[in-house]
Structure 1
Amino acid sequence: MKDKSYIWISFIVLIFGIWVMPKVIKKFEKADLMTMGKAPHFELINQDEKVINNESYAGKVYVLEFFFAKCPTICPIMNMNMLKLQDAFYGNMKFGIASISIDPVNDTPAALKEHAKELGVKNPYWNMMTGEGEYIYDVAKKFNLYTGVNPEAAGGFEHSGLFALIDKEGNIRCRVDEHGNPILYYDGTDDKAVEWLKEDIKLLLDE
């Protein structure tokens, strides 16, 4: 009887090793997303007049965008999609959002605080940031995200509607397209791209 019990126990342990352990190990591996290098350094002032930089997001997965509060075109769509991300990961202190204004003259910390209140910002790590204009445009350039002053554009500025996904170690991460090429950034105005972003944030949070 003891021999039979030993055989059954050994069999169960073997099955556990084959089916369960790989899944446990997989959780601690890197997510199946491309690593595009370190996110460029930034240091700005948020809506609470606190200095915020990359280190403020250390150990967190976060999404970064360039926007401005009075934008009449794509920003309202981007705002709604950021709110969807906030709601999807509400209560998770490992998730944050970095919104950098390209209109620092009007988007003072006080103005951004009011804008955050109007939007319904609840995540304590959703920083709406401002600073010197040329510095902000230089940071955007380093991210390879288009921003610029254009008096003829609606609102007086132009900018990309893309979201950057950054992991806990400060790396820009992304998925690949159907041809195996990295998408680099996620379209913040596209519902499907935002759903991809949700999925990929979950992967990075589990790393």
Structure 2
Amino acid sequence: MPTGANSKKKYTYVWVSAIILLFGTFAVYEITKRIKGGTMVENDRMSTGMQHKPLAFVVNDGKKRKVPDFAFYDQDSVLVTNTDYLGKVYVVEFFFTTCPTICPIMTENLVAIEQMFQTEEDFGVASFTINPRYDTPSILKKYAKKYGITNANWHLMTGDRDKIYQLAQEGFYIYASEEQDAPGGFEHSGMFALVDKNGYIRSREDQFGNPLIYYRGTITEKQGVNDEGESQQITILKEDIKKLLAE
């Protein structure tokens, strides 16, 4: 017959085992739920196992894709060119200030990224408006003030419409079009491109070894997953900016 001390130990072991079993079951449930939601694949695996790999170059016809020459005026009416970004890691987007759908989310994400790297002199953002007829430097200045954009290396640029569209579609392969039936009159991609200090477009590779090329800019870290089951990629974009800054 067990003594009182032995009996107490026995019940302690039983309770400990029950607690371990309970938390183990909960962990399995959470992992399963996240896999079904699509967040495990991109946010967990890509933010852990792949974050230490060097970023890939985006290659077309056997050549590393480099940002083509451009020259546009920013929100301060200063002429900005691609050479002004050399030596800096920067994120590229195409947007317009009256966009009623994805642009505010994209800007919110870029502001969060900019705040994280606000002490980094070698980090910047290049925002090109696809509605230059309306988005003059003064309009872009108001937009910057509205969203608290203060980084001297964040240029919101406007200029010749055809040259901006050529830069988007031929330089970055990012879709941009004037569509009367689209919300706000324009349709465009909500993706961000990442550029290294030498002007090359870079990205991490997916689980199959292919460059991601772009990063989703229309889902916030807080949101996590959108209605289509796509995961946010702002977290991995931040990780990859750090990686390029360290090169």
Same fold, judged at TM 0.5 (above): yes
Q: Deviations over 1:1-58 (max 9, x none)?
A: xxxxxxxxxxxxxxxxxxxxxxxxxxxxxx7000122112221110111111110111
Once residues 47 and 92 of structure 1 are traced to their aligned partners in structure 2, the CA distance between those partners, rounded to angstroms, is 21
Q: Report SS of the residue matched to 2:98.
A: coil
Q: What amino acid is aligned across from residue 90 of structure 1 in structure 2?
A: Q
Question: How do residues 18-167 of structure 1 correspond to structure 2 at under 5 angstroms?
Answer: 32-36=54-58, 37-142=65-170, 143-167=172-196
Report the counterpart of residue 179 of structure 1 in structure 2: 208
* Post-superposition CA distance 1:106-130 (Å, at most 9, x none): 1000000011011100111000000
Residues 141-193 of structure 1: per-residue CA shift (max 9 Å, x gap): 11100000001111000000010100001110000111111110111113331
Deviations 1:88-118 (Å, cap 9, x if unpaired)? 1012110000000000011000000011011
Question: Which residue in the other structure is 1:203 paired with?
Answer: 243
CA–CA separation in structure 1 for the residues paired with 2:96 and 2:160: 14
Structure 2, gaps ≥5 residues long: 1-52, 59-64, 222-231
* Offset at residue 78 of structure 1 (A): 0.2
Aligned partners of 2:57 and 2:211 also within 8 Å: no
TM-score by length of 2: 0.70
Q: Which segments of 5 or more consecutive residues in structure 1 lack a partner in the other structure?
A: 1-30
Q: CA RMSD in A?
A: 1.2
Q: How many residues align?
A: 178
Tell me the secondary structure at the aligned position of residue 210 of structure 2. coil
Q: Which runs of structure 1 show a deviation greater than 6 angstroms over 4 or more consecutive aligned residues?
A: none
One-letter code aligned to 2:55: L
TM-score under structure 1 length normalisation: 0.84
Point out the structure with max Rg over C-alpha: 2
Identity of aligned residues (%): 48
